[in-house]
Every structure is written in structure tokens, then in C-alpha cells.
């Protein structure tokens, strides 16, 4: 007979709905939370509840924001003709932490992954084409993750964009030895170097 509280079973089941969280990951997260003092636990839960309640994808770029259109898209200081394409909001935030990029972003909402049943049709590509046309974009920087799926997604987009916009400059950030990881996990130096070493497709 299993003597596990129903609350723990339910919490573990819910946590496993998060991308990348299996049974062990869910256990680490939940038990780590339960080890904290009650006040800290409630503070974390409250912050998560507030974030999930208030944050939604920007209607322009897809980044998570508490506004209809995010501050990046509405900022007059941003160059709308320079567009960086990333897989997720977390990737855009990683680039923002550098404090150097002055263009705008486009969030795909994932990457092409046949093993997971994710195709190009499942990504936010139609909106990307619409924005390039609307803002007469000069350069698209493909900053999908430096792994097999990220490369496949970048290659697909490069060929699509070349066909649709023959005069558009399309570049891919250079990761070098960092291949096989995720953009959000790169340190600031590696990420900055990747942008500086981007190459034209």
C-alpha cells in the first residue's frame, strides 16, 4: 500500500505537465519547495499565480508581457527593421540581459521536431512573414537553439525567407563549441560572441 498524500500525488502530476519535467524533475521541484519556510513557499506560489494570471503573449512578437503589445515592440528606440527570431520568450530575455541588442524579436513558440510531432505548421511563422512585409525588415537574425532541432528550424526558415524575400539579409548566430545546448543556458560572453560572429545564410 502506498502512503503518499493525495496532495503530493496531484502536485507531481500537475508539475509534469511542464515541458522538460518528468517524474524525478517534478519531485525535485516540489520537495525543494516544501523544504522552504511556509512564508517563502506562499511567496513563490503567489508570484507564480500572479505571473500566470497577468502574462500573455504579445500580439505583435509573441513574447510574454502584461500588456497587449510589449514594451519592446512599442519602444521608439527599437529598430523594427532588425528582427531576431527565437524559439521561446526565455531566449529573448536571455538576449535582453546583455543590454546591447536594439532590434525587435519574433517568438516562434517552439522548433521543428519530428520526434515530438512538431512541424513548421505548428510554429508562429505566418505572423513572422507578415511582420517582415509590414516593417520592410533589413535583416533577420536566426537565433534558434544551437542543437539539431534548432539548426533544422533555422535552415527551414532561411530557405523560406529567401524564397519570399530575395533581398532580405538572413544571418545565423555563430555558436562554435557551444553546439548541443540551449540559448538561455549560455553565459553572457558566449551569447554576445555568438551575435558578433553571426554569418549570412
Q: In which region does residue 109 sit, left (phi positive, over 0), alpha (psi from -120 to 50) or beta (all else)? A: left
Flag whether 1 is in a domain: no
Q: Are residues 29 and 76 in the same domain?
A: no
CA–CA separation, 39 and 2 (whole Å): 29
CA–CA separation, 29 and 13 (whole Å): 12
| Whether pLDDT at 75 is above 70 | yes
124 or 192, greater pLDDT: 124
Flag whether 67 is in a domain: yes
Flag whether 158 is in a domain: yes
pTM assigned to the model: 0.85
What pLDDT is attached to residue 186?
81
Q: Are residues 49 and 75 in the same domain?
A: no
Supply the CATH number for residue 120's domain: 3.40.1360.10
Q: Give me the residue label for grid cell 533544422.
A: 152
Number of domains into which the chain is organized: 2
Q: Are residues 40 and 109 in the same domain?
A: no
Nearest to 18 by CA among 30, 2, 35, 7: 30
Query: Which 8-state DSSP code applies to residue 111?
Result: -
Q: Are residues 33 and 129 in the same domain?
A: no
- 157's enclosing H/E stretch is helix 148-164
Q: Are residues 126 and 36 in the same domain?
A: no
Q: Are residues 141 and 90 in the same domain?
A: yes
Q: Are residues 62 and 39 in the same domain?
A: no
CA–CA separation, 13 and 159 (whole Å): 41
Q: Are residues 86 and 185 in the same domain?
A: yes
Flag whether 107 is in a domain: yes
Q: For the segment 95-148, what is each residue's pLDDT rounded down to a tens digit?
A: 999 889 999 999 999 999 888 888 889 999 999 999 999 999 999 999 999 888
How many CB atoms lie under 10 A from the CB of residue 118?
16
What pLDDT is attached to residue 190?
83
Q: Are residues 42 and 115 in the same domain?
A: no
Identify the band that residue 179 occupies on the pLDDT scale cut at 50, 70 and 90: low
Q: Are residues 32 and 117 in the same domain?
A: no
CA–CA separation, 121 and 17 (whole Å): 23
Q: What residues make up the domain containing 189?
A: 57-200
Q: Are residues 15 and 84 in the same domain?
A: no
Q: Are residues 96 and 195 in the same domain?
A: yes
Flag whether 122 is in a domain: yes
Supply the CATH number for residue 30's domain: 1.10.8.420
Amino acid at each position: 500500500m502506498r502512503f503518499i498524500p493525495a496532495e503530493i500525488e496531484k502536485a507531481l502530476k500537475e508539475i509534469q505537465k511542464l515541458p522538460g519535467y518528468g517524474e524525478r524533475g517534478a519531485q525535485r521541484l516540489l520537495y525543494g519547495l516544501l523544504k522552504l519556510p511556509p512564508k517563502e513557499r506562499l511567496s513563490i506560489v503567489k508570484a507564480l499565480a500572479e505571473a500566470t494570471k497577468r502574462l500573455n503573449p504579445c500580439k505583435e512578437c509573441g513574447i510574454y508581457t502584461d500588456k497587449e503589445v510589449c514594451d519592446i515592440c512599442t519602444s521608439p528606440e527599437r529598430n523594427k527593421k532588425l528582427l531576431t527570431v527565437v524559439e521561446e520568450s526565455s531566449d529573448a530575455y536571455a538576449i535582453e540581459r546583455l543590454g546591447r541588442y536594439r532590434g525587435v524579436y519574433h517568438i516562434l513558440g517552439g522548433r521543428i521536431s519530428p520526434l515530438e510531432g512538431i512541424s513548421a505548421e505548428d510554429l508562429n511563422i505566418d505572423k513572422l512573414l507578415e511582420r517582415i512585409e509590414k516593417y520592410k525588415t533589413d535583416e533577420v537574425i536566426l537565433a534558434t537553439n544551437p542543437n539539431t532541432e534548432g539548426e533544422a528550424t533555422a535552415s527551414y526558415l532561411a530557405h523560406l525567407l529567401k524564397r519570399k524575400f530575395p533581398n532580405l539579409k538572413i544571418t545565423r548566430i555563430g555558436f562554435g563549441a557551444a553546439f548541443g545546448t540551449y540559448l538561455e543556458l549560455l553565459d553572457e560572453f558566449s551569447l554576445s560572441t555568438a551575435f558578433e560572429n553571426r554569418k549570412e545564410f
